[in-house]
Chains A and B, each alone.
Chain A
């Protein structure tokens, strides 16, 4: 499904956070949302998974305004992998992933619930840990389990909030490869510009609540944007192996 965010405005406690933020993702697109701390990335994401209602503007998933859908119906279209989550002590991986079926099931779990959980565990590469305690996993494994939970939702759009945060470099690549491999429409807040450049089809730059650039990676991560928005002396370059890398030329600008 496609994701359309149109002219979204949000103020929190009187402070404008998002000003006419607009963004589209075509079905299967992998869109990265980048910007410095406090630019409004997480706030924009929250309007997509229906945790925050914009003051004005519209968020459409598959053509439907998410705020005209019930929470349940919206969660059947959109799943989210978020930064913080409370996990009760002793909860197992299978139980965490099964939570992804909350918006689907009737009173009892159906065959479809069970197969969705099984598929998600397999797809995220965590099927062999199903009976382990979530608390016994490494950071990378935990993140893959949370991805499996989102996949069990069988979403058409997947949003991720800094999914590679606190992960070691190998776990970052593993996770992003998994997300990329799902083929689902993705909107991911990413702090690591190099990861963003490597995996995203398109990037959207948020700066002080305004979308200042959007489009293919090489068009967006220009030296000018990197300097003005991120305050670094850098550029995105297409390397010989077809991978786009961000090359930092010097220490951050004064």
Chain B
């Protein structure tokens, strides 16, 4: 269990406000670029003007086409990508602390497969079977159901939680595969797109709820940040340090399921973000959760904005699902992480 790295992270001693300022500025820059770039590119000055006129009031000065592209399509899309990236990254941090395992992330622990069943059920069979829920609501319900099943079977013990997460995930994946086989060919494309994740359907009216969930969940764990730091020392030590281990684990799983369910509801099943971003954050900034959580949120946001930009520009004007890229980048990263761990232990 005990693994020691002999060096502190390179940015460990940089104060948190400075780290947040730099990553935050980077995120804003990436978002502005992503808003401007696309099948129709809008100059940065026009992007500024459109956003400025909507946020600060005043009359629109860009031409109506740019205005519509920027405000009605690109801004909500980029904002949604950022929120989803932040949410998944924070969910990954929570799950890694929950099961003390670097491989934990919302997909591996069965939460995304749970959401998939819900959404695919509605797409292929119809809303009637799940009480008239929309695909989004069914995805959210599926993630929460998966979280409850994982916790009930895992009984708050890290090793059991891993196994129950993987097992629950496979059951839901089997159900999803069965539904796909039974589906109309016409629905399959929609199913595939959902399973691989996309923020192409972003709408302004979705953003409020997603923002509220991501911010509230991140703030809630941030307040418990020290308890999370104690929790990752192991059950016995954490107990001796005064942490109610079971209750803290439950909190982490509930928040992770809430975040995953919300992201899946609006963007489908995006994999590997929750794995990659927290590790990069820890490698760069250190392991204190009070640093890792907000910085992972910002880096995750920037990462998914970039990946979404790639997904709509690589094969323009066609759009590719985000999940293709997150998996294509994430899997090699995972292999690198394993090799790195082996050389250290």
**Chain B interface residue number, banded:** 35 or more
Contact with A87, one of B2, B7, B235, B344 (Cβ below 8 angstroms): B2
Contact with B233, one of A70, A78, A99, A105 (Cβ below 8 angstroms): A99
- Is B5 in contact with A75, judged by CB distance below 8 angstroms? no
Answer yes or no: A51 CB below 8 A from chain B CBs: yes
- Is B239 in contact with A71, judged by CB distance below 8 angstroms? yes
Contact with A along B41-54 (1 / 0, CB 8 A): 00000000000000
- Is A102 in contact with B232, judged by CB distance below 8 angstroms? no
- Is B6 in contact with A85, judged by CB distance below 8 angstroms? no
Answer yes or no: A65 CB below 8 A from chain B CBs: no
Contact with B along A50-64 (1 / 0, CB 8 A): 110000000000000
Q: Interface residues of B: mostly helix, strand, loop or mixed?
A: loop
Tally of contacts, chain A with chain B, CB under 8 A: 116
Q: Tell me which residues across on chain A come within 8 A of B5, comparing CB atoms.
A: 89-90, 133, 135
Q: Which residue of chain A has the shortest Cβ distance to B345 in the bound complex?
A: A89
Answer yes or no: A95 CB below 8 A from chain B CBs: yes
**Chain A interface residue number, banded:** 35 or more
Answer yes or no: B12 CB below 8 A from chain A CBs: yes
Q: CA separation between A53 and B194, bound complex, in Å?
A: 48
Contact with B4, one of A49, A105, A134 (Cβ below 8 angstroms): A134
Contact with A along B235-250 (1 / 0, CB 8 A): 1110111111000000
B260: min CB distance to chain A, Å? 23
Answer yes or no: A74 CB below 8 A from chain B CBs: yes
Can you list 20 A-B pairs, Cβ within 8 angstroms, ordered by A? A50-B240, A51-B240, A70-B244, A71-B242, A75-B240, A79-B240, A80-B237, A86-B232, A87-B2, A88-B232, A88-B287, A89-B282, A89-B344, A90-B5, A99-B226, A101-B226, A102-B230, A105-B226, A132-B8, A133-B8
B binding-site residues for A, Cβ under 8 Å: 1-9, 12-13, 100, 223, 226-227, 229-230, 232-237, 239-244, 282-283, 286-288, 344
